[in-house]
A = this chain, B = another copy of it.
Amino acid sequence: MNPTILIVEDEPAIQELLAVNLKHAGFLVVKAGSAEAGDSAIRAALPDLVILDWMLPGQSGVALAKKLRQDERTRELPIIMLTARVHEEDKVQGLEAGADDYVTKPFSPKELVARVRAVLRRRAPHLAGESVDIQGLVLNPGTHRVTAGGQTVELGPTEFRLLFFFMTHPERVYTRAQLLDEVWGDHVFIEERTVDVHIRRLRAALEASGHQDRVETVRGTGYRFRGH
């Protein structure tokens, strides 16, 4: 549920500075030391935002940004460019390459965290802790509250995370294994049928609030959340 941020930066000191501050701000951090490593990391596990250094050994940050903008899967991936240069032409070039924001070194950690939040708020509101509203069913990650028509919906922690995932990924079928990965976290050993039980509990809570048939069963595959 916490946003994952990929840092692509070759200088260990700056990489660490960024990582410490972002972690402290509640983000999950993945690091890469080159554009190529960053590219791999993105393919391995799609992050929610990328902080990309301008100058990198080998392939440059701008080149990677352009590449990411061409691939359909990463077209929407928010990018913040990091650079030591202060020339105006670079800024233009960076934004043309598809960067969402632009930070010049030296920067204050607070400023960077603020910019990360701002970009996430613009590009992926729910990751910035803003509430998700699907047809009167409102889930607020900040307050951990779910309401249906003003009425509070009572949910356990697992049901809350399950609903959060569904509401941020509606209209798409997920297998039990996928849901276990996404909602329970990777590398857990839990029976797949356990998902059924939590689906049942979630359905019961939603129906008690007047939301029938929001979670659909796709026989032989898994479940899907109705977004409309």
Contact = CB atoms under 8 A, between A and B. Distances in A.
A115 interface: yes
Contacts of A201: none
Interface in A13-53: 40, 43-46
Contacts of A111: 40, 43-44
A71 B118 contact: yes
Contacts of A173: 142-144
A27 to B, nearest CB: 14
A117 to B, nearest CB: 7
Contacts of A73: 114, 117-118, 121
Contact of A114 (B43, B108, B117): B43
Chain A contact patch, size range: 20 to 34
Top 6 A-B residue pairs of the complex, sorted by shortest distance between their CB atoms:
A157-B220, A44-B111, A44-B108, A144-B173, A43-B111, A43-B114
A144 to B, nearest CB: 4
Contacts of A110: 43-45
Contacts of A157: 219-221
A218 B144 CA distance: 8
A171 B43 CA distance: 37
A69 interface: no
Interface in A198-218: 218
A172 interface: yes
29 contacts: A43-B110, A43-B111, A43-B114, A43-B115, A43-B118, A44-B108, A44-B111, A44-B114, A45-B108, A45-B110, A71-B118, A72-B118, A73-B114, A73-B117, A73-B118, A73-B121, A142-B171, A142-B172, A142-B173, A143-B172, A143-B224, A144-B173, A144-B221, A144-B224, A145-B171, A156-B219, A157-B219, A157-B220, A157-B221
A218 B121 CA distance: 25
A218 to B, nearest CB: 5
Contacts of A115: 43
Given A173-B144, A224-B143, A121 B43 contact: no
Contacts of A44: 108, 110-111, 114
A219 B219 CA distance: 33
